[in-house]
Structure 1
Amino acid sequence: MSQPVQPANEQFLTAILDNDLQATLTLFEQAGNWQERYRQIMLLGKALPKLDEQLRVDSAQVRGCESNAWLYHTEINGLHYFIADSDARIVKGLIALLLIACNGKNSAEINAFEPNEFFAKLGLAGQLSPSRTNGLLALANAIKAVA
């Protein structure tokens, strides 16, 4: 499923790591309504670097997502880092949230991560369609599987 990150694409890791989880959580907590949260998700998706076309291969595709989504993983000094992309902007933003929560964590931290609790804390529980929720869980499970 996931392939090691190619050295030429390691710049994606630092772009993802520049996002601060607490700042993101604060933005979502301050959002007064679903439309503002949706806007924040879209902005996160826009900020997530696009994968090169040669990395959008079947072996990196996450199954269970309605939209196309690709996930790559590497481990550095016992910590896990991921890059991912989607052809749907909202999914790309939701992926960014997952990456913010999981990048730079060890295996135990990632395996303890509860995506349903995370998305409930962000106020997204019940706002996403069942197919989108299933896709997010597929991505979270893919992240856990490689960690």
Structure 2
Amino acid sequence: MNLPAEAQTALETFNQSLGWEQRARLLMQWGERLPALSDEEKTEEHRVHGCESQVWLLGDISNGHWQFRAASDARLIRGLVALLLARVNGLSAEDLQQVDLPDWFSQLGLSRQLSPSRSNGLNAVLQRMRQLACGNA
């Protein structure tokens, strides 16, 4: 499966930065790049359940390709979610089913950032994306 351009950029960027501190800083920067959601969008209906932090997710489809927007109240989670969005935005519903979350974060060198609760939370976000994409929102 081809990686979306933004995912390719993420891989190149994270694989250049060697130290953990640089990666952590990059992670925060990716989180800062997420477009803000309005208060009207941060509703219970859009909240992802299964995350310790608050995460809201919205998705739209255009020409068979999904574009997701998300926000979180936690900086680190915002960065991880931003990297997940880089990986999935522009995919079809079919491709979305194939995304391997642990593999993606291990390619980025961020596996050790994924505590079990963070990993569960990101899996919940990915599952929610898949539900939206399959029309089972």
TM-score by length of 1: 0.83
Which of 67, 91, 96 is 2:53 aligned to? Answer: 67
Q: In the alignment, does 2:3 pair up with 1:21?
A: no
Matched with 1:96 is 82
Deviation at 1:33, TM superposition (A): 2.1
Preserved contact between residue 34 and residue 127 of structure 1 (Cα < 8 Å): no
The alignment covers a number of residue pairs equal to: 130
Deviation beyond 4 Å, 4+ runs, structure 1: none
**Percent of pairs identical after alignment?**
38
Q: Secondary structure at the match of 1:53?
A: coil
Please tell me the root mean square deviation across aligned C-alpha atoms, in Å. 1.5
| Structure 1 letter corresponding to 2:50 | G
Q: In the alignment, does 2:92 pair up with 1:106?
A: yes
Q: Deviations over 1:48-107 (max 9, x none)?
A: 111111111001000011110000011111111111100111111111111111111111
TM-score by length of 2: 0.89
1:1-147 pair list within 5 angstroms: 20-147=6-133
Preserved contact between residue 48 and residue 96 of structure 1 (Cα < 8 Å): yes
Q: Distance in 2 between matches of 1:55 and 1:94?
A: 20
Q: Which consecutive unaligned segments of at least 5 residues does structure 2 have?
A: none
